[in-house]
Chain A
Amino acid sequence: MLNFLARRILQLIPTLFFVSVLIFSLQHLLPGDPALVMAGEERDPNVIAHIRAQYRLDQPIPVQYVYWLKGVLSGDFGESLRIKVPVLELIRQKLPVTMQLASMAIVIALLIGIPAGIVSAVKRGSAWDYGANLFALWGISTPNFWLGIMLIFLFSIELGWLPASGYVPLSENWRASLASTIMPAFVLGNAIAAILMRHTRSAMLQVLESDYVRTARAKGLSERVVILKHAMRNALTPVITLGALELGTLLSGAVLTEQIFSIPGFGKLIVDAVFNRDYAVVQGVVLVTATIYITLNLIADVAYILVNPRLRA
């Protein structure tokens, strides 16, 4: 196990290196000169030259990369060109907002996806199964920004139950906070619920055909005990780890969902940064996102082995 963990962590280093190169080179694909953007209205050549020197834009690209990487490794992601705030500070402010949204989305996805998957596997071929599969197709095929707009129309404009946009922090007023995040969380959770339902269904179908389930039934255990205690435990193990991998979907989804509901989170930060040509913010956000994603992948891998004794050898 320790060997596996060490090997897996060692593998991360080249991946993270390539991620950093990829992210850094994005800046140099960008049309326009960052020094000109920073200089703003002032086109004084002296100012521009000063900015170039200050941000080392006059150095060769590999040298710039090394300086950038050195900064990143010591926790310095640079500063937003627009609002002159350290990128790390921006990330620290916005990440909790998206985390709240993401956690709520996962809870919603688990609450819908897993029961739907179990029911559709147990009642295979029934109207329930049919309905659950339709739900999964709906979840996978609905663009989340459209769903968001339609929910705003129904619950904010027509019924007036929920605020159409804005965000209230959890620490300020938990009721208002939940009201401001429930719609976007549902939009995000909907797609993941569909994927979880499909995973759960196929895992349950496989387990229900296995010998030990047949033995449990032959022992005379009630169907309820067989399904809830024997089958579900084994079926859900791969589902949970597969679910962890859907976090990338969640982060992608947050970009548009936060845009529609005007929620000042991670997704909105990156869109605004892209439009403002705020290079340092784009780089920092993508790097942090990729690192979170890679780490979650690692945790999922390790968790899978930990809960599956057959793989532990």
Chain B
Amino acid sequence: MNVHKFSVNVATPDRTIVSIKDYPVYDNHITFLFGESGIGKSLISKALYGLLDTSELTVTINDIPYADHLKSKWLTDSRANSFFVFQEPSSHLNPLMKISEQLNEGSLDCGNERDILEYLWQHSYDDTLDTILDVYPKPYRPSGGEKQRILLTMAFKKIQALIDQNDRDLSTYFVFDEPTGSLDNRYRNLFLRLLLDRYCKRQFTAVIITHDYSIISEIYNQYKSLVPYIHFKELSRVDTTEVRVDDFSADDYLSWLHSSRWSTVHSNVQKKPVLEFGADFSIFSRNLRIYQDKEHTQPSPLIIDKGSIVYLKAPSGVGKTTIAKIILGIYKADSFSMMLCEKKYSQNTHQSVWAKRVWGKQAGMVFQHADESLDLQATVKETFDGLSTRMKNDLDTLLGQLFAPRTIEAIRHKKTALLSGGQKQRLNLLRTLALKTDLVIFDEPLNGLDFANVKKVLELLNQLRMNGTAILMISHNEEIFEALIDEENILYLAEVT
């Protein structure tokens, strides 16, 4: 196995953004790259692929100027046979060109995409696929998941072309940046199966940037024979700009997963419902129902006792975040009934009641996107200044739950915008936890975290639960939460047709 090692440095005129030494690219192997959001995974990959704009950035690769790297044999040879799947499919696609044309544009004009599309859609090539391919990409048409699969189709066309050429000497470097971010587990597994199936036909170099640790279990369960050809790596921070790459131990993750289960709270917490939400409700003219079984046969109200956790599952877009926002009075449902801390709420309750009684006192919520829900122009300290709970002296203790003491000093007076994605997410969590409310709703609390922080956050949530807080969990990390939470505390949300 041939390994290329790269030292990458990316800087603006004012500061260094990211710097890494000995970043490995394994020839004809697949590397899964983990690490917290904003640490530089995409930036390093784009730098190596030759995609950075040098009018704003100074880039050096192995201490040589970027222009020389762009002309290097490794890059020119690799790029000719490879593809970069960007994290945000909407920004990749040309809004003024039909998708069918984009699938055959430039170097993609190399064979037929029909089989790949049918596989990724699990659909025969009928009117449905024709309709999707015959449109100009717009923000909501096709959906995010469909756009992601279109980009994957482009990458798989290049892989297929490679297989068809049957030349073992061709150099490759595929990058998939969060390729499954908008896909549910079923489509995620289809992508993985197609990728590894093609890999068996013709080995190629690929780096897959992801936060989805359940890919590890899938590989170990379904494709164990390929494990020698697969690397799991994790980026971690050395200081504010320098990062390093380490092996990510798949065994550690799997053993942690199998040994983790949150025990039921018995002794010190009295069983008392904090939240009772009726099984049926409607909003935006849609009727939704909560079930206690995944077959959707037994409707069940959502009841969360003091010191317990309920995990609410549903496919993307059904309304998990919507129900959270109804509970907190942000959305006005057409009809619903709810008891929160022994007070009744319905569609007739005025929003001011939530403002007076609930927000920051009885219930809190950690929103899905830390970037949107924090004031990015405020400092870390200012993030906590407006909370109803005064915590001038406790700020260090609070931050200490998820940040190292050295980091706290460095970030206390720093603008939130300058924190990494993972740090923002931890701040987002701590702001709500500082309130000490009876109910906390977590919407994707593990977004953007590295594995060490995933474990820390889960430990903190368990502690919170043990102390009597009722928790409603919404997350696409099904594997982790199904391992942690008893089956009886998992509910399912579905639309009633």
User: Is B one of A's binding partners?
Assistant: no
- Give A residues with C-beta under 8 Å from B: none
